[in-house]
């Protein structure tokens, strides 16, 4: 399978079984602040980020690996906590940590780096890609958006639950009507643009429909990173239930816009439309880690 998705798909042996596989990283100073957060949460976040890519393709977790680079002065208690966070989160999502590598940086100032590889298997009728959106499709999102990174270093970006069960349930429920999916790591504006771009379409989001997290603004919902919610293109005439059926705790589902033909070849990929009907370019609303 070509590049461009959250995970790659690899055929294993002649039997025809296939595997989804991907890698993601958490780096001190970019995705977490290691001296303000307990290290079990860093390990857990690294595992959750990788598992969120499994959710984005509606895969079933199989196993995981982690490679870690520690600063030389790392405390034993912190290292143990990091491993615990990785292990426990992997177990909780049925992706047991089966291997890894640990190295130690040369200098104490060098940042803790955690890279997690996930293996998953596709579920019927196959993985959901980024590129399947069609003209007229609904843009649907799980959960709430914005304000994921609190000033004290905490917030949703550390606590989020990869939407693996939700994705599997939605795939089962919608089948081939679930045309495309991605997880929101860089803001709903930017990630909606990725779905539109992969399909050669434009996407219009309605600002009044965005499911805002408490205290989050529309700008925060559009541009904040690390929501890790699912963003989908669903066939136009589908009735979207208010929550994902059969999932506890309840996971909100909201139709927030629509995919259209690109009006001109150089038109913006993402338009944000307000209640009065005025539309602005939102292609660049998003989060650059480390910028």
Positions in the binding site for a second copy (CB under 8 A): 3, 7-8, 10, 12-13, 15, 17, 19, 21-25, 27, 29-30, 62-63, 65-67, 69, 98-101, 103-107, 109-111, 113, 115, 117, 119, 121, 289-290
Tell me the backbone φ, ψ of residue 97, rounded to 5 degrees: -75, 110
**201-206, strands of its sheet edge to edge:** 178-183, 230-234, 138-142, 253-261, 201-206, 270-273, 279-281
Burial class (CB in 10 A: 0-12, 13-18, 19+), 136: middle
CA distance 250 to 256: 19
Q: Whole-number minimum distance, CB 107 to a second copy, in Å?
A: 8
CA distance 289 to 110: 18
Q: How far is CA 59 from CA 50, 125, 135, in A?
A: 12, 11, 25
């Amino acid at each position: 399978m070509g590049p461009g998705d959250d995970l790659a798909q690899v055929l294993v042996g002649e039997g025809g079984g296939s595997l989804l596989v991907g890698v993601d990283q958490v780096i001190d100073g970019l995705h977490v602040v290691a001296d303000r957060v307990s290290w079990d949460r860093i390990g857990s976040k690294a595992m959750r980020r990788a598992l969120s890519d499994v959710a984005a393709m509606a895969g079933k977790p199989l196993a995981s690996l982690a490679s870690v680079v520690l600063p030389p002065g790392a405390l034993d208690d912190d290292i143990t906590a990091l491993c615990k966070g990785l292990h426990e989160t992997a177990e909780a999502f049925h992706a047991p940590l089966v291997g890894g590598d640990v190295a130690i940086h040369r200098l104490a100032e060098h940042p803790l780096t955690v890279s997690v590889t996930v293996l998953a298997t596709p579920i019927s009728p196959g993985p959901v890609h980024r590129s399947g959106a069609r003209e007229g499709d609904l843009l649907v999102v799980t959960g709430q958006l914005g304000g994921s990174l609190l000033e004290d270093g905490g917030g949703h970006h550390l606590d989020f639950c990869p939407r693996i069960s939700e994705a599997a349930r939605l795939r089962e429920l919608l089948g081939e009507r679930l045309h495309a999916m991605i997880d929101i790591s860089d803001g709903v504006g930017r990630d909606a643009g990725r779905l539109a771009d992969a399909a050669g379409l434009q996407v219009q989001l309605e600002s009044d429909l965005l499911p805002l997290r408490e205290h989050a603004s529309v700008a925060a919902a559009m541009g904040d990173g690390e929501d890790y919610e699912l963003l989908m293109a669903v066939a136009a005439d589908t009735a979207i239930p208010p929550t994902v059926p059969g999932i506890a705790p309840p996971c909100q589902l909201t139709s927030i816009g629509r995919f259209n033909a690109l009006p001109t070849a150089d038109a913006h990929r993402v338009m944000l439309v307000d209640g009065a009907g005025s539309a602005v370019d939102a292609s660049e609303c998003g989060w650059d880690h480390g910028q």
